[in-house]
Chains A and B, each alone.
Chain A
Amino acid sequence: MTEKVKVEETKAETLVPVLIKEYVDLPWMAILEDSIKHNDRTLLVGHCGIGKTSAIEQFAARENREVRRVNLNGQTTVSDLVGQWIAKDGETVWIDGIIPDSMKKGQYLILDEIDFATPEILAVIHGPLEDNGFMVLAEKDGEVVRPARGHRIFGTANTIGADIEDRGLYQGTNVMNEAFLDRCSTVVKIPWPAQEDEANILLKRVPGLPLSTAVLIVRIANEVREAFEKKEVFTTFSTRKCLQLADKSIRYGSLMEGARVCILNKLGDEDQKIVAGIIQRWSGEKV
């Protein structure tokens, strides 16, 4: 579903994300909070499922700000971002793209998976990323769009693009050009949460989850992450996966059965064997 379709279907008031009361703030989020306060152009870099987008959404929810998201995964065109002329009732009308629209409405704009964006797309973003950045809609009539009060712009990426190993995991990502990175005044490299923090996230977000199972899942996740660092597996274990596994474990009454549907079946044969072995060793359940 494209962003434009999403906007048409969604009422404006629902663009404010749902506030998650059980949300656990992690140490790195203090930098994000500070960058929002000072209107920095912020790039969050970290593995998928680590909570980059959800952190921005939760800060927006606390401020009652609307959030627009666009995924720059290669399908996004320049006109999606900037705008385009369309035929309507026998006339041609200009429809703002997501960037000028969010700037005018003072919304938070999240440019997701910015490491997948092509140089042409990144070039479009350069203007709004400048300090006091504005955007010139050359295709329209040269309208200059200035950000309304409260507008913030964020980028998220799995990798900065320079690490060959990471690019193996995130195939299709591009090395970000220096001109783009230079415009991001704050870049946060997000670490995996500390074990205690991650266990607390699971306990707060998954009702009824026993403490021991939360710890068990966190320790499995950490062992898979270590295996990834040692290049023994080509997958890692995100907090999102931990949450999925916690939920499935309660529903199935078995950690291994839960893991089968939300972890193991997503992996290739080799990774599946290794990850299943780790889960078996920690849970005591047979594969």
Chain B
Amino acid sequence: MTTPKMEVLEVALLSKDEEEYLIKLDPDTNEVKALHTRKDKTERVFKKGKRSSLFAAMELARQVYNKQLDSGWKSVWINFSKAAEDLYEEEIGKKGGKKKKSPPTKVVKAEPPPPPPPPTLKELLKETPAGLAAISMKELKVAHKQYRKLSEKSS
């Protein structure tokens, strides 16, 4: 069974005077093309790029769009999010699953990263004087407090 070919997506249109600049993305080849349409309606590929992944291609399309804005072009419409959604649905379709809308983004509170493991004896032997002093002074204060507690208890 052959995999159905995905449609080329139009992701953004820009304009300057009577000229137009259309950015397209081919999800099958991860190719980004920009068509520059002049007054005389001639169309030519103005920019072209290919990326190894679809997301990298999407990023390239976005970069092209931003560069045009910097060069004095105005945005007529953009469709990056719609394009991303279409791609998602296409992907689901390819795999034979039920087409559905992209799930709402779930906000997950990031857990604090686990504390780094304490340095080993070998690592400490290679530590600089300042680095070693910083670690030691903290730990020595804690050891001293524990010593004081124990001495108070025993007395």
Q: Residues of A with Cβ closer than 8 Å to B?
A: 195-196, 199-200, 208-213, 215-216, 219, 249-255, 281-285
State the CA gap A73–B144 with chains docked (Å): 39
Task: Let me know if B125 and A250 touch, CB within 8 A.
Answer: no
Q: How distant is A245 from chain B, measured CB to nearest CB, in Å?
A: 12
Can you name the residue of chain B whose Cβ is closest to the Cβ of A195?
A: B125
Q: How distant is A217 from chain B, measured CB to nearest CB, in Å?
A: 9
Task: Let me know if B132 and A255 touch, CB within 8 A.
Answer: no
State the CA gap A215–B124 with chains docked (Å): 7
Measured between beta carbons, the chain B residues less than 8 angstroms from A254 are: 140
B107 at the interface (CB under 8 A from A): no
Task: List, sorted by A's number, 13 A–B pairs whose CB atoms are closer than 8 Å.
Answer: A196-B121, A208-B146, A210-B140, A210-B142, A210-B143, A215-B121, A215-B127, A216-B132, A216-B133, A250-B147, A253-B147, A284-B130, A284-B137
B136 at the interface (CB under 8 A from A): yes
Question: With A213-B136, A213-B139 as given contacts, are A281 and B122 in contact (CB-CB < 8 Å)?
Answer: no
Task: Let me know if A212 and B132 touch, CB within 8 A.
Answer: yes
Partner of B132, one of A200, A215, A285: A215
Contacts beyond the supplied A209-B143, A255-B136: 19 A-B pairs with Cβ under 8 Å: A208-B143, A208-B146, A208-B147, A210-B136, A210-B139, A210-B143, A211-B121, A213-B136, A213-B143, A215-B127, A216-B133, A250-B140, A250-B147, A251-B147, A253-B147, A283-B133, A284-B130, A284-B133, A285-B137
Partner of A212, one of B124, B129, B145, B146: B124
Measured between beta carbons, the chain B residues less than 8 angstroms from A281 are: 129
Can you name the residue of chain A whose Cβ is closest to the Cβ of B141?
A: A253
Per the CB 8 Å criterion, the residue count for chain B at the interface is 24
Chain A interface helix/strand/loop/mixed: helix
Question: With A216-B136, A282-B129 as given contacts, are A250 and B143 in contact (CB-CB < 8 Å)?
Answer: yes
Task: Let me know if B140 and A215 touch, CB within 8 A.
Answer: no
The residue among B129, B135, B139 with the most chain A CB atoms within 10 A of its own CB is B129
State the CA gap A196–B124 with chains docked (Å): 10
B118 at the interface (CB under 8 A from A): yes
B110 at the interface (CB under 8 A from A): no
Task: Let me know if A252 and B136 touch, CB within 8 A.
Answer: no
B134 at the interface (CB under 8 A from A): yes
- Which 8 pairs across A and B sit closest by C-beta, in order of nearness? A253-B144, A210-B139, A284-B133, A212-B136, A215-B124, A212-B135, A216-B136, A213-B136
Q: How distant is B51 from chain A, measured CB to nearest CB, in Å?
A: 48
Measured between beta carbons, the chain A residues less than 8 angstroms from B143 are: 208-210, 213, 250
Measured between beta carbons, the chain B residues less than 8 angstroms from A200 are: 121
Measured between beta carbons, the chain A residues less than 8 angstroms from B119 are: 211-212
Measured between beta carbons, the chain B residues less than 8 angstroms from A209 are: 143
Q: How distant is A60 from chain B, measured CB to nearest CB, in Å?
A: 30
State the CA gap A216–B129 with chains docked (Å): 8
